[in-house]
Amino acid sequence: MAGFVVRSTNGKKGKALFATKQYNEGDVILEEDPLVSCQFAWNAAYRYMACDHCMRPLETPEQNVRRLAAKPDIVLPHANNFEADLMNVASCNQCGILYCCEGCRDQALVSYHRSLCYDQTDARHPIHILLEAWKQMHYPPETTSVMLLVRILAYIKQHPDPTVAAATVKQFCHRTVNEDAELVHKLLGEQFSDQLNTLRELTASVISGDSIQEFLTPEGYCALMALVGTNGQGIGTSPLAQWVNSVSQLAMSDDERQQMDLFIDKLYKDVENESGQFLNTEGSGLFQLQSACNHSCGPNAESSFPYGNHRIQLKAVKTIMPGEEICISYLDECSLQRSRHSRQKELAENYLFVCWCERCTSESSQPDITSEEDMSDDEFDDEDD
């Protein structure tokens, strides 16, 4: 039995996750696969080869680091067992797109790929045209993909009961028409209303039908775009990181460990020189339970992708008592260190809510400016005004 419940709240998200039993630090609270997920468009264009369904990288750690560092001679020790992971690679019989295994291929086909299978070399295909248009609007660092939206539509269309599938998707929408527009504005920038219209027309030429018509109207499409923009959970996988993790668990002498750490540092330097910060296979997915998890600036849980694919895991980072809300941080470690004022500002800008979590409340007497960094932010604001 699960140790948590999803409850409706009148907060911004409309939902929240509450513990029904005690969790200790390190306990797994939940694991789930997304409803749909998708690799980012530029990430795929830069040859981050991954399973088209679960985003498991289709490279061994050694192939991965050789490509990222542009050094074909790098040899990784203790890396033999990773080759077995690539023995089961399968492809779609029609379009040839790659999957890590037959299971992923079959699941993709049943849930959305049948509607989206096309000859990848056909530059005039509507999916190709939509993707190219998207790539011109949304450059790295990527935060979402129009293909996630298209997969949601295909998921509804292919579902045995499209009404049920549409209702599942609509559970993610809690916003007003104006708030949706504001979010999409944030996502696409100044040109957003023209761009949104272009994307909507191109999407409608990729997929249509009675069961998804409501999502292809201007309002419906805007709501769907806002949904993927805010509920889309970032997913990152890296064969190199998996190898580093596996090596860190090997038994070795202090001397060997020191040598290994130096070797790993050097690898990351080589990679950074050639590929910058652009190291992971990246994408996003729509998770039903995980998306109910609200933000706190003092989170009691965190999520990760321990299996090297799109399966998410939520773990307690401190003791959580029955009845307590389970929260993660939407802000990264660095932003989390900043003052209440800066955190609230970032959350308001990116997620459209003012955070009054326990930590923010207890820091309410803090002045609205605390660090030099914050002061320069505020000077910018003043100049804008």
Distance between CA atoms of residues 276 and 262, nearest Å: 19
Among 94-102, 130-138, 194-202, 243-251, the segment contacting Zn ion (CB under 5 A): 94-102
- Pick the closest to residue 377 from 351, 341, 332 (CA basis): 341
Pick 12 or 21: Cβ nearer Zn ion: 12
Among 115-123, 146-154, 233-241, 252-260, the segment contacting Zn ion (CB under 5 A): 115-123
Residues in 277-316 at the binding interface with Zn ion, rule: CB under 5 A:
297
Min separation Cβ 163 and Zn ion, Å: 27
Q: Which of 49, 86, 95, 369 binds Zn ion (CB under 5 A)?
A: 95
Pick 100 or 181: Cβ nearer Zn ion: 100
Question: How many CB atoms within 10 Å of residue 376?
Answer: 9
- Pick the closest to residue 129 from 158, 150, 143, 155 (CA basis): 150
Question: If you search the block for the tokens 């040899």, which residue do you land on?
Answer: 75
- Pick the closest to residue 231 from 177, 167, 173, 160 (CA basis): 173
Pick 51 or 65: Cβ nearer Zn ion: 51
Among 17-25, 87-95, 253-261, 321-329, the segment contacting Zn ion (CB under 5 A): 87-95
Min separation Cβ 277 and Zn ion, Å: 25
Phi, psi of 359 (to 5 degrees): -65, -45
Pick 66 or 295: Cβ nearer Zn ion: 295
Q: Which of 38, 50, 54, 188 binds Zn ion (CB under 5 A)?
A: 54
Q: Which of 100, 187, 228, 247 binds Zn ion (CB under 5 A)?
A: 100
The helix/strand/coil state of 125 is coil
CA angle 54–60–61, rounded 5-degree value: 105
Residue 218 is inside which H or E element, if any?
Answer: helix 218-231
Query: How is residue 314 written in tokens?
Result: 């939520």
Position 154, amino acid:
A
Pick 94 or 258: Cβ nearer Zn ion: 94
Min separation Cβ 353 and Zn ion, Å: 10
Pick 148 or 357: Cβ nearer Zn ion: 357
Does position 328 interact with Zn ion (CB under 5 A)? The reply is: no
- Tell me, residue by residue from 13 to 52, as one string, x for binding to Zn ion by CB under 5 A and - for no binding: --------------------------------------x-
Phi, psi of 206 (to 5 degrees): -85, -45
How many residues touch Zn ion under the rule CB under 5 A: the total is 14
Contact 329, 297 (CB under 8 A): yes
Among 98-106, 177-185, 284-292, 324-332, the segment contacting Zn ion (CB under 5 A): 98-106
Q: Considering just the CA atoms, what is the radius of gyration of the chain in Å?
A: 22
H-type helices in 322-369, by residue range? 333-336, 340-351, 358-362
Does position 104 interact with Zn ion (CB under 5 A)? The reply is: yes
Residues that bind Zn ion (CB under 5 A): 51, 53-54, 56, 92, 94-95, 100, 104, 117, 297, 355, 357, 360
